[in-house]
Amino acid sequence: MKLTLFIWRQKNAQAQGKFEKFDLDNVSPDMSFLEMLDTVIETQMAAGIDPIYFDHDCREGICGACSLVINGTPHGPELATTTCQLHMRKFKEGDTIYIEPFRSKAFTLIKDLTVDRASLDRIIQAGGFVSVPTGAPQDANALPISKVNAELAMDAAACIGCGACVASCPNGAAMLFTSAKMGQLALLPQGQPERRKRALAMVKQMESEGFGSCRNYYECEAACPKGISVRFIAKMNREFMKASIMGE
């Protein structure tokens, strides 16, 4: 396939950025999106040009590092798919593709398509630890967890922390991410001792990082590569309200 790419280039957060045009020939439909970008980098390096910077790690849809906005959509046009698992067969001959970084006040741009998403890590860190008594491990079958709660906790734990929910939200909210990380522990016995303390601390950290508030646009759920439901946001709001009234 022949494709035209417009890729965002920016030296750092203080510099002015712009789109640069790249014309590609012979793009295989079996390539992943990142493999296609690899060919651009190889061409740039061969020509002695500073190559584009973008994040990647596992390339298996697990780590969430491959965070790009493709034609205005975080991770691209394929639903429930990370950028690294998006294949070029999703595009057609002659397409024009715009590639940008995740944009958010809380995500400082490092270079080109790479942003610092450590703010999400700090929200998790604010949640603290989970109390685990010493001694012999308890038999798993003796833990009083209903099948419904176990499945909901697994749904929340599927979050890979990529930040697509933030990039897609008109308000730049991280409430889907925060609610998933909070919700998975709130549903399990192991998360009960610090439950209220965790809710207060994580919401406080989320707000201090400069993320916006949820306005029920539901863009976060649509963009999430793991299909995290917005119902976790409602649960987080209940957790926070209860903790605010009852205290830690």
C-alpha closest to that of 4 among 140, 99, 96: 96
CATH number at residue 73: 3.10.20.30
**With 80 as the cut, is the pLDDT of residue 141 above it?**
no
Predicted pLDDT of residue 134 = 63
Predicted pLDDT of residue 139 = 77
Helix axes 195-208, 175-186, angle to 10 degrees: 170
Task: Kindly state whether residue 139 falls inside one of the protein's structural domains.
Answer: no
- Whole-model pTM: value is 0.93
Confidence of residue 243 (pLDDT cuts 50, 70, 90): very high
Task: Kindly state whether residue 8 falls inside one of the protein's structural domains.
Answer: yes
Q: Which domain holds residue 170?
A: 117-131+145-246
pLDDT single digits (tens) 49-100: 999 999 999 999 999 999 999 999 999 999 999 999 999 999 999 999 999 9
Q: Are residues 55 and 127 in the same domain?
A: no
Predicted pLDDT of residue 118 = 97
pLDDT single digits (tens) 177-215: 999 999 999 999 889 999 999 999 999 999 999 999 999
Predicted pLDDT of residue 130 = 84
Query: Which has more pLDDT, 216 or 138?
Result: 216
Task: Kindly state whether residue 138 falls inside one of the protein's structural domains.
Answer: no
Query: Could you give the angle at the alpha carbon of 186 between the alpha carbons of 185 and 190, nearest 5°?
Result: 55
Q: Find the largest Cα–Cα distance for the chain.
A: 64
Query: How far is 107 from 172, CA to CA, in rounded Å?
Result: 10
Confidence of residue 248 (pLDDT cuts 50, 70, 90): confident
Q: Are residues 77 and 22 in the same domain?
A: yes
**With 90 as the cut, is the pLDDT of residue 174 above it?**
yes
Query: How far is 22 from 47, CA to CA, in rounded Å?
Result: 14
CATH number at residue 202: 1.10.1060.10
Q: Which amino acid is at 115?
A: V
pLDDT single digits (tens) 86-136: 999 999 999 999 999 999 999 999 999 999 999 999 999 999 988 876 677
Confidence of residue 144 (pLDDT cuts 50, 70, 90): confident
C-alpha closest to that of 159 among 68, 72, 233, 104: 233
Confidence of residue 247 (pLDDT cuts 50, 70, 90): confident
When divided into structural domains, the chain yields a total of 2
